[in-house]
Amino acid sequence: MNTETQETRRSRRSETFWKKAFFSLAGVFGIFAVGLVVGLSVAGGNSEAPQPTMVQAQGGQIEARWDRDVQPLPEGEDGSFASVAATALPVVVEVNVVEVVEQRAPSSPFEFFFGPRDGDPEGEPREFERPGLGSGVIVRRNGENVYILTNHHVVGNASEIEIGLYDGRRFTAELVGGDPRTDLAVLNVETSEDVPVARLGDSDALSVGDWVLAVGNPFGFDSTVTAGIVSATGRRPQQAGGGLPELTDFIQTDAAINPGNSGGALVNMSGEIVGINTWIVGSQTGGSVGLGFAIPMSQAADTVDQFITEGRIVYGWLGVSITDADSPAMTGLAEDLGIAETDGALITNVWIDSPAHTDGIRPGDFVVEIDGVPVADTFDLQRAVGAIRPGETGTFRVIRDGAERTIDVTIAEREAEDVVAVATNIWPGLTVVPVDDDLRERHDIADDGALVAVVERESSAARAGIQPGDVITHVDDERIDGAREFYAAAAEASGRLELRVARNGVTVSIGLPAL
């Protein structure tokens, strides 16, 4: 494995710095930045996170173990964090990537300067190399294999990856595996040289007000340390906007994080890595305004083993579509189902032959608990199911038609996103809400029943001819009054459902195939 001296590295850095900075500012790489948001935080006390010790496992693998008697590293007499920084800097690396992208070349000089005109022939696509920059943390060593944890959006589809250590050494790295749903990835460097390994801390022990350091390579300024506090914990992706990993929550910090910090370390006062810096809410230039977000190490650490052994993260799959019954789009649904004051997630559809279908989960079931752990909302349900290993059984406590029941479901492995997204195999393929006075007035609805709010494309309901805005008034010749009665009938159905639907003043009979 080729290495370079520190003097050579400095020379290379001076030649490439402004190129890296340009691409960072252009948003080609680094942490996502959105909107103009200004926030203020007040500094607080020290973290008492547990101290991990490095131990050698089978096969020579080096990994962290937590010691609950950890004490924070001493501050200098002037209150500096020099000892903490000295512990963290050697285990945070610079990640340089090159991604090959395909773009259409201009077909003429005119198009090069002024853009294409109608009728102009299209130029031939050409491949271009696009550089990127981020950070990573050395989390494990197994023999000559050194593993580095970073963000998936840092490495993406990179064709070349180079790692730069704090002491100036550089190595070529390979992608072990990446996962966009958690925005995490693991890289591998093969070397017999001595390489420091991070001490991993317990992010669950963090409290709002604890001091933390952010370490990384913002805008190409390698080995940069910034200080701040934990501003909040348990931040959800929905709270900060779109584009965030959907299966994690975040540590919020006011330690300055900028493009290039992605994949770097959030460090507690014991010098332990408690988070992977991932995302910022920034100004219009993409700079930090004191709202940075890191993936907690309690979630990130569990993915490392899966990447190393499987090359990917294996998710559990239940086979349902879900919604928050109290969301504004589901007008009156929570009240109609009798769950208005209850936390949980509503099952709206079930995949045919899925674990949910096979083991008895039905549309209209409101999941309040999995394996004894309360479910707050759809986010909680996704995370809880995804964390159950395929082949294992989860115990679901649900509310169906006002009554609680317990259902054991053996979870399967989640397939690729493009496979899961196909709706042709879901039942019934629709979501209903009760017809209340507001809906009746706004949509000129004369009939009582369950209003069809959503019809999934290519689903059983869509193929049967059900349309959004239809009011289901009867199921198997039984009058229904609201969403609760529709879901109760659907849950008990053993065959084809015969629906009577009111549509624009006309009654339509529709047969819905059996589940």
Q: What is the DSSP string of 387-449?
A: HSPTT-EEEEEEEETTEEEEEEEE-EE---HHHHT--TTEES-EEEEE--HHHHHHHT--S-S
Rounded Cα–Cα distance for residues 462 and 455 (Å): 6
pLDDT average, residue stretch 457-461 = 91
List helix spans (H) across 326-406: 333-337, 355-359, 378-387
pLDDT average, residue stretch 23-48 = 32
Query: Is 106 in contact with 280 (CB distance < 8 Å)?
Result: no
**pLDDT for 28:** 33
Domain-wise residue ranges, the chain = 317-512
Residue 12 in this model has a pLDDT that exceeds 50:
no
pLDDT average, residue stretch 94-116 = 70
428 upstream amide cis, omega within 30 of 0: yes
How big is the chain, counted in residues? 515
> CATH classification of 317-512 is 3.10.310.30, yes or no?
no
pLDDT average, residue stretch 364-373 = 97
Percent of the chain exceeding pLDDT 70 equals 74
What residues are paired with 466 via a beta bridge? Answer: none
User: Residue 13 — very low, low, confident or very high, per pLDDT cuts 50/70/90?
Assistant: very low
Q: What does the buried/exposed string (b/e) look like for 119-136 if buried means 16 or more CB atoms within 10 Å of the residue's CB? A: eeeeeeeeeeebbbbbbb
User: Residue 73 — very low, low, confident or very high, per pLDDT cuts 50/70/90?
Assistant: low
For the ranges 148-152, 380-384, 493-497, 507-511, the lowest mean pLDDT is seen at 493-497
Of residues 504 and 242, the one with the higher pLDDT is 504
> What is the identity of the amino acid at 461?
A
Query: Is 486 in contact with 362 (CB distance < 8 Å)?
Result: no
For the ranges 30-44, 406-420, 439-453, the lowest mean pLDDT is seen at 30-44
User: Residue 200 — very low, low, confident or very high, per pLDDT cuts 50/70/90?
Assistant: very high
**pLDDT for 67:** 45
pTM for the structure as a whole: 0.75
Residue 259 in this model has a pLDDT that exceeds 50:
yes
**pLDDT for 53:** 40
Q: Cβ neighbours of residue 328 under 8 Å, at least 6 residues apart?
A: none
Rounded Cα–Cα distance for residues 149 and 381 (Å): 26
Query: Is 350 in contact with 357 (CB distance < 8 Å)?
Result: yes
Dihedral of the alpha carbons of 352, 353, 355, 356, in degrees to the nearest 10? 30
Q: Which of 262, 270, 321, 460 is catalytic?
A: 262
**pLDDT for 424:** 76
Residue 56 in this model has a pLDDT that exceeds 70:
no
For the ranges 73-77, 137-141, 389-393, 400-404, the lowest mean pLDDT is seen at 73-77
For the ranges 208-217, 286-295, 341-350, the lowest mean pLDDT is seen at 286-295
Among residues 160, 184, 154, the alpha carbon closest in space to that of 29 is found at 154
**pLDDT for 120:** 54
**pLDDT for 111:** 59
What tens digit of pLDDT does each residue of 387-434 get? 999 999 999 999 999 999 999 999 999 877 766 666 678 999 999 999
Of residues 21 and 447, the one with the higher pLDDT is 447
Q: Locate tokens 């250590």: which residue?
A: 165
What Å distances lie between residue 117 and 109, 120, 124, 191, CA to CA? 12, 6, 16, 54
In whole numbers, what is the pLDDT of the chain averaged over residues? 82
Task: Establish whether 153 is a catalytic residue.
Answer: yes
Residue 58 in this model has a pLDDT that exceeds 60:
no
What residues are paired with 131 via a beta bridge? Answer: 98
> What is the identity of the amino acid at 119?
G
**pLDDT for 241:** 55
Rounded Cα–Cα distance for residues 192 and 146 (Å): 9
Residue 30 in this model has a pLDDT that exceeds 50:
no
Token pair belonging to 76: 């200098």
Rounded Cα–Cα distance for residues 223 and 218 (Å): 9
What Å distances lie between residue 389 and 41, 62, 86, 168, 413, CA to CA? 39, 25, 39, 41, 8
Q: Which of 41, 153, 249, 365 is catalytic?
A: 153
**pLDDT for 247:** 77
**pLDDT for 281:** 77
Percent of the chain exceeding pLDDT 90 equals 58
For the ranges 276-285, 353-362, 452-461, 479-488, the lowest mean pLDDT is seen at 276-285
Residue 172 in this model has a pLDDT that exceeds 60:
yes
Residue 82 in this model has a pLDDT that exceeds 90:
yes
Q: Which segments of 191-235 are extended strands (E)? A: 211-216, 224-235
List helix spans (H) across 91-159: 109-114, 152-155
Query: Is 368 in contact with 360 (CB distance < 8 Å)?
Result: no
Q: Which segments of 121-255 are extended strands (E)? A: 125-142, 145-150, 160-164, 170-172, 174-179, 184-190, 211-216, 224-235, 250-253
What residues are paired with 273 via a beta bridge? Answer: 200, 267
Q: How far apart are the first and last CA of the chain?
A: 58
